[in-house]
Chains A and B, each alone.
Chain A
Amino acid sequence: MGLPAIPIVSDLGLDETAKALNTEQIATVVNRILDQETAARFKVYLNTCVHCGLCSDACHWFLSNDRDPRFSPVGKVKQTLWEIIRKKGHVSPEFMKDCSRIAHTECNVCRRCSMYCPFGIDIAYLLLVVRRICHELGMVPQFLQDTVNSHSVTMNQMWVKQDEWIDTLQWQEEEAKGEIKTSRIPLDKEGADVFYSVIAPEPKILAQLIGNIAQIMAVAKVDWTMPSLDGWDNSNMAMYSGDFEIMGRVERAHYESALKLKSRRIVMGECGHAFRGAAYDGPKWLGWREPPIPLIHAVDFYHELLTTGRIKIAKKFETPVTVQEPCNIVRGRGLGQKLREIISMVCEDFRLPEPGLEHNYCCGAGGGTINCGPPWKTSRVKGNRVKAEQLAATKAHIIITPCHNCHSGIEDIISGYKLGMHVKFFSEILMEVMEVPDELKC
């Protein structure tokens, strides 16, 4: 078939590892993982798939790459697992490099394809098994591995040290106080109603978001806290590299930190992958059906604040907006309707994306792919042309994206396809339109 060559990308995490591996080692690891860590789902999915290709139309990678079959969901499984199983794990290091490229960088484990396969085969799960094998072999894109290393050492994703964390919170508290007198960021307060957690990029590069939430909490008069010690970061890149041991440690630390403070519930900032880790992938691995303490996403929380009238809107936002519906909270937790409701409550001109809700396309950055770093950016942006087309069709100016991964991914798409749009978190819009009582104003 005359398919275009896949551009060769050099990534030390893959190239150097491949040099050190041999087929025997690969076979040992593959067979150990398949014997010990996979069971009914894996076997039944592989035996049931009738190779019909009906899942193809689900995948933004396939659609954006001019229906190149190598990017279809089942095509990715064929190029990885089917071969691995056919050869009983005796595949070359070069082959494993391709597996990592496919599973880590060309699939967002967004699960859209499970909604298109007539059998409901969970291809994202199958590709996560490939990632798991890659991880056990040390075959992980370097940038992604770095975030996992950071989790392992500091329990957060971006090597934020504890003093930096506390400093940042204090700095943002000062900033917030400059706007709203009663703003506070209560550290380690026991028994608070809300334990608020964020992902490490907030203190590292987007600190104003923490200042924003301090103001929102002050206006809504929420009894809240943040922890001073590890457990404040709810992000989880290990979940995506295939390092499930570290994934489990990170999730446990997050919940323990909230339990230690006897908080009533965890509210997490606007991030989808972090929510996935904390709400279901983490608990799944730890053997919990439900988390030990209620966990809600920012969208749910804002919905509560707006519908109970704790936050009132002074004047609706007028610029036309649309929404990027993050897979991990919409397909992952059914928050699509609530998200649309809060946007309608604060925005005058809300343009719905099509396809929407559970059928929305992934931003292309999720599932850890954006964390694979600059080497893979070109293919990632190319692999999501349909997203650019979908957004452009709304003719909105601003795209509300209640997720950090989506935020960065959509920014890349906007610049890659010259859409001339802007991305904002919901909280940023809320800051502009919420009513601040006079006695709180500075």
Chain B
Amino acid sequence: MYQFVSGPLVWIAFAVFVGGMVYQFVTMLRLAQKDKVIYPYMSLKYSLRSLFHWIIPFASRNMRARYEVTIVTFIFHICLVLLPIFLLAHVAMFAFAWGAKWCVMSAGAANYMTLAVILACVFFLLRRVMLPEVQFVTYVSDYVLLAIAFAPFVTGFAANRQWFDYETTIIIHMICGSLMLIVIPFTRLSHMLFFPFTRAYMGSEFGAVRNARDW
């Protein structure tokens, strides 16, 4: 079991993730041709201007107004992306499989970052349940997706702390991680891919065509 999960499953997950992202990206480019306005409107300058104002914390009005979401979401996303890449255990596995190595983060940092992701997920959940405007637009799938993002982190945390049988926990952890990778391209988690493009388009339409700011 461990052999399969840590070997083929992870490779399948990566392949589906990369393949799925490429597929979504190509589909988007193709559909963008049908949407007559996209390519003519796109502007590098205004795309970057918009992206800039939306990837820097508090650079947009709504980020300042909803400061609590801004703080949580930035911590959440930064940890969510960096943690899996620079975690010692992950890097070691790649080193073992490929011989490739890159820098790793300290165990202490990893610990806090995992906790941060877990708490952020709880925050998102509470927000969803408690704010009427979020509750109103919540489908079951929103909870499922949140759970999918949450699972690799709690299970990783549990494995590291050896709360339960280590081998079982780590197998569950790897399944959760793979599942997350697999579903990203095909669900709303694909916002990871689309974010720069939706922003770039809106930034271009506001900047190049409508001469206005969009933050």
Assembled-state Cα–Cα distance A351/B62 (Å): 24
- Residues of chain A contacted by B199 (CB below 8 angstroms): 119-120
Neighbouring B residues of A44 by C-beta, 8 Å: 28, 31, 194, 197-198
Do A114 and B66 contact each other (CB < 8 Å), given the known contacts A48-B194, A51-B188, A72-B136? no
For the A-B complex with A41-B38, A118-B63 known, give 7 more contacts whose Cβ atoms are closer than 8 Å. Answer: A39-B35, A40-B38, A48-B188, A48-B198, A56-B133, A119-B191, A334-B211
Selected interface stretch from A154-162, A250-258, A325-333: A325-333
Complex CA gap A359/B66 in Å reads 16
CB-based contact A58/B62 at 8 Å: yes
Q: How far is the CA of A32 from the CA of B67 in the complex (A)?
A: 42
B66 touches A39 (CB 8 A): no
Whether the pair B198, A334 counts as a contact (CB closer than 8 A) is no
Of B3-11, B99-107, B162-170, B202-210, which stretch is located at the interface? Answer: B202-210
**Residues of B173-215 whose CB lies within 8 A of A:** 188, 190-191, 194-195, 197-199, 201-203, 205-206, 209-215
Question: What bracket does the count of chain B residues touching chain A fall in?
Answer: 35 or more
**Residue of B38, B133, B205 most packed against chain A (CB within 10 A):** B133
Given contacts A39-B31, A115-B214, A331-B212, contact A53 B195 (CB under 8 A): no
Asked whether, in the complex, the Cβ of A41 is within 8 Å of the Cβ of B35, the reply is: yes
Cα distance, A358 to B33, chains bound together (Å): 30
Contact with B along A112-132 (1 / 0, CB 8 A): 001110111110000000000
- B116 to chain A minimum Cβ distance, whole angstroms, is 19
Once the chains bind, are A120 and B50 in contact (CB under 8 Å)? yes
Which residues of chain A in 99-123 are interfacial with respect to chain B, using CB atoms and an 8 Å cutoff?
A: 114-116, 118-122
Cβ contacts B25-52/A at 8 Å (1 or 0 each): 0001001111111101100000000100
Does A265 touch B at the CB level, under 8 Å? Answer: no
Interface residues of A in 316-348 (CB under 8 A from B): 330-336
Q: What's the Cα separation between A115 and B32 when bound, in Å?
A: 22
Q: Considering only CB atoms, which chain A residue lies closest to B186 in the complex?
A: A47
Are A333 and B132 in contact, with the CB atoms below 8 A?
no
Residues of A bordering B, CB below 8 Å: 1, 38-45, 47-54, 56-58, 62, 67-70, 72, 74-75, 78, 114-116, 118-122, 280, 284, 287, 289, 330-336, 358-359
A-B contact pairs, 15 of them (CB 8 A): A39-B35, A43-B28, A44-B28, A48-B190, A48-B198, A50-B191, A53-B131, A53-B137, A57-B65, A115-B60, A118-B54, A119-B199, A122-B205, A334-B211, A334-B212
CB pair A39 B32 closer than 8 Å? yes
CA distance A122 to B212 in the complex (A): 15
The CA-CA distance from A121 to B194 in the complex, in Å, is 11
Within 8 A of A (CB), among B107-165: 131-139, 142
Contact B198 A45 (CB under 8 A): yes
Query: Does A62 lie within 8 Å of B133, measured CB to CB?
Result: yes
Alpha-carbon distance A68/B38, docked complex (angstroms): 34
When C-beta atoms are compared, the residue in chain A nearest to B196 turns out to be A119
B90 within 8 A of A: no
Closest to B194 in A: A48
Asked if B136 and A78 sit within 8 Å, CB to CB, the answer is: yes
Contact indicator B190/A47 (Cβ below 8 Å): yes
A116 CA to B215 CA in the complex, in Å? 7
Q: Are B66 and A334 touching (Cβ within 8 A)?
A: no
With the chains together, A45 CA to B191 CA distance in Å?
Answer: 9
Is B85 part of the contact surface with A, judged by Cβ < 8 Å?
no
Partner of A51, one of B33, B138, B195: B138
Q: Which residue of B lies closest to A122 (CB)?
A: B202
CB of A290 to closest CB in B, whole Å: 9
Q: Measured between alpha carbons, how far is A1 from B60 in the docked complex, in Å?
A: 32
Task: Given A40-B32, A358-B213, verify A75-B62 contact (CB < 8 Å).
Answer: no
Residue B69 at the A interface, CB < 8 A? Answer: yes
B179 vs chain A, min Cβ distance (A): 18
Q: Provided the pairs A51-B137, A51-B188, A287-B36 are in contact, do residues A120 and B201 lie with their beta carbons within 8 angstroms?
A: yes
Contact B197 A51 (CB under 8 A): no
Cβ–Cβ contact B35 & A114, under 8 A: no
* Least Cβ–Cβ distance between A137 and chain B, in angstroms: 23
Within the assembled complex, what's the spacing in Å between the Cα atoms of A75 and B135? Answer: 10
Give the contacting residue for B31; candidates A40, A68, A114, A330; CB below 8 A: A40
Shortest 9 CB-CB distances between A and B: which pairs?
A120-B202, A334-B211, A69-B136, A39-B34, A40-B31, A53-B134, A39-B35, A40-B32, A56-B133
Residues of B within 8 A of A334 (CB): 210-213
Is there an interface contact between A47 and B137, defined as CB atoms closer than 8 Å? no
Complex Cα spacing A48 to B138, Å: 14
Residues of chain A within 8 A of B212, CB atoms compared:
330-334, 336, 358
Q: B210 near A332 (CB under 8 angstroms)?
A: yes
Distance of A372 from chain B, by nearest CB (Å): 24
Q: Nearest chain B CB to A327's CB is how many angstroms away? A: 10
B136 touches A70 (CB 8 A): yes
Q: How far is the CA of A49 from the CA of B204 in the complex (A)?
A: 19
The answer to whether A48 and B191 touch across the interface, beta carbons within 8 angstroms, is yes
In the bound complex, what is the Cα–Cα distance between A119 and B197 (angstroms)? Answer: 9
Nearest to A52 among chain B residues (CB) is B134
- Report the nearest B residue to A120, measured CB to CB: B202
Chain A residues near B41: list those with CB within 8 A: 289
Q: In the bound complex, how far is the Cα of B132 from the Cα of A57, in angstroms?
A: 12
CB of A55, distance to nearest CB on chain B (Å): 8
Contact A50 B188 (CB under 8 A): yes
- Give the residue name and chain of the B residue nearest to A331 (CB): B212
**Minimum Cβ distance to chain B for residue A113 (Å):** 10
Q: Which residues of B contact A70 (CB under 8 A)?
A: 136
Which of the residues B62, B136, B139, B201 comes within 8 Å of A54, measured between beta carbons? B62
Q: Are B194 and A119 in contact (CB under 8 A)?
A: yes
Contact in complex: B132, A1 (CB < 8 Å): yes
Which residues of A lie under 8 Å from residue B195 when comparing CB positions?
48, 118-119
Partner of A57, one of B66, B135, B205: B66
